[in-house]
Amino acid sequence: MASALLWLALAVPAFAAPTSSNTGTGQNAISRISLGPRPYWLVDHLEDGPLKSKLASCSEKHMRRTDFSIGHRGGGILEFPEETRESIMAGTRMGAGIQECDVTFTKDKQLICRHDQCDLHTTTNVVTIPELNAKCTTPFKPAANGAKASAKCCTSDFTLAEIKTLCSKMDGSNTAALTPADYIKGTPVFRTDLYSTTTCSAVLTLKEYIKLVDGLGLKFTPELKTPVVPMPFPAGSDYTQAKYAQQMIDEFKTAGIKPDRVFIQSFLYDDLLYWLKAEPKFAKQAIFLDESADTTPLSASVANLTQYAAAGVKIMGPPLPYLVTVKDGKIVPSEYAIEAKRLGLKIITWSLDRSGFLGDGSHGGYYYGSIANVTNHESDVYKLLHVLAQDVGVQGVFSDWSATVTYYANCFGLF
Ligand SMILES: *[C@@H]1O[C@H](CO)[C@@H](O)[C@H](O)[C@H]1NC(C)=O
Ligand SMILES: *[C@@H]1O[C@H](CO)[C@@H](O)[C@H](O)[C@H]1NC(C)=O
């Protein structure tokens, strides 16, 4: 009895609501972070050396949540449908301190979480519902005469009420399909349908995401997705790009969220310039996502960093391969990373655990493109992360499976 009382006395403070404004209401905060087997397996299979020894030495450590670990589309998308409550809960269990919602709009101008304005045909069951399929920009067409099966369903094709009837699923499609039911079966083999075929994960609104993440006591990183339809939408209306960019901020203000808990993101430089002028408090930690070197030489992207810094941008968000290169068989910071540091720009990068198999001869594909010739095994993810954290000095890393980054950050004391 005495020991039970003592336990209670000790336990009570741990259940009290956090009081720091930085953790929001925190009423549903998760205090037990659990990483599952993946990081331990990755460390076990890493080649012998100082990095493996250090990481292995942390295997019995009590793991904590960290802002270095950013949930990409929720952070649980190797197993759970992206941008859903389920993915956010999985990433949060795995210690992500910052959670993402990709923001786009419906036909009735409601903001929702979807990675792309036009991905409903690959991320939901929309094409299997005839009356909704009929409203898609391009309804489902079966494969025929050598042409692939196709569909294009955009959030702006539907009202929020219609979108709320959909079930999210693992991103993918089967372009050999003859029926809608077959078209939605296209999950890559390194992900799983285990949790998406048996339950219906609704599409989240931005408001629901804010409430959920606030309740978990985490920080936010909403990305204003570049519209696929011409703005204003519809043509001639007053729903301009600036209005859409403002609407996203307003939902955080209405929910009473302080700007220092929000890392707004966009690929559109004009969005950054708009926020710097109209919403300086939120712009202070806005992330300018940069994929310019996908189409032009990296040196052109490096040259542009000066003007972004001068305009007041504080954080750049390039993909992983822009930040590293190979020298004498070793991964080292790229000219992009060196120049960003020189200019005092912070860096957040994307996305780990997104490449499928690193050891199947693909050398990690796009995300490892600049270090392909030293990428040969799944565990090489930690060789890349080590250079990003220690030599490039990134502030945080987006991941499709938050445990990988959380483990590293805990081991090296990055909080
Ligand atoms: C550099 O900046 C200019 C002006 O903002 C822009 O037009 C150009 O596309 C940018 N180039 C790259 C590679 O980012
Ligand atoms: C790897 O590729 C880079 C170019 O991406 C090259 O500069 C480097 O010499 C290569 N290193 C090895 C060990 O082959």
Whole-structure pTM value: 0.93
Sorting pLDDT into bands at 50, 70 and 90, what band is 3?
very low
Q: What is the mean pLDDT of the chain?
A: 94
**347 bridge partner residues:** 316
- Residue 77 pLDDT: 98
Is 379 within 8 Å of 356 (Cβ atoms)? no
Does 329 sit in the ligand 2 pocket, CB within 6 Å? yes
User: Structure tokens of 221?
Assistant: 């990183």
- Residue 391 pLDDT: 98
Does 128 sit in the ligand 1 pocket, CB within 6 Å? no
Does 292 sit in the ligand 1 pocket, CB within 6 Å? yes
Sorting pLDDT into bands at 50, 70 and 90, what band is 22?
low
Sorting pLDDT into bands at 50, 70 and 90, what band is 28?
confident
- Atom nearest to 295 CA in ligand 1: 13
- Atom nearest to 370 CA in ligand 2: 5
Looking at all shown ligands, the one closest to residue 295's CA atom is: 1
The answer, yes or no, to whether residue 21 has pLDDT greater than 60, is no
Sorting pLDDT into bands at 50, 70 and 90, what band is 7?
very low
- Atom nearest to 296 CA in ligand 1: 13
Is 71 within 8 Å of 91 (Cβ atoms)? yes
Contact partners, residue 311, CB within 8 Å, separation at least 6 = 272, 273, 276
Does 328 sit in the ligand 2 pocket, CB within 6 Å? no
Burial category of 268 from C-beta neighbours within 10 Å (exposed 0-12, middle 13-18, buried 19 and up): middle
Look up tokens 């993402």; give the residue.
100
Separation of 340 CA from ligand 2 center, angstroms?
A: 23
Residue nearest to atom 10 of ligand 1 (CA): 304
Q: CA-based angle 211:212:214, to the nearest 5?
A: 65
Mean pLDDT of 353-364: 95
- Residue 26 pLDDT: 81
Give the whole-angstrom CA distance, residue 169 versus residue 193. Answer: 8
> Which string of DSSP letters, residue by residue, matches 151-214?
EE--GGGS-HHHHTT--B--S---TT-SSHHHHT----TTS--TTTSSS-BPPPBHHHHHHHHH
- Residue 161 pLDDT: 98
Does 301 sit in the ligand 1 pocket, CB within 6 Å? yes
Give the whole-angstrom CA distance, residue 271 versus residue 249. Answer: 12
* Residue-wise pLDDT tens digits, 292-326: 999 999 999 999 999 999 999 999 999 999 999 99
Give the whole-angstrom CA distance, residue 237 versus residue 242. Answer: 13
* Residue-wise pLDDT tens digits, 216-251: 999 999 999 999 999 999 999 999 999 999 999 999
Closest CA to 87 of 162, 161, 1, 195: 195
Separation of 372 CA from ligand 2 center, angstroms?
A: 8
Looking at all shown ligands, the one closest to residue 324's CA atom is: 2
Looking at all shown ligands, the one closest to residue 373's CA atom is: 2
Residue nearest to atom 14 of ligand 2 (CA): 373
Looking at all shown ligands, the one closest to residue 310's CA atom is: 1
Mean pLDDT of 332-352: 98
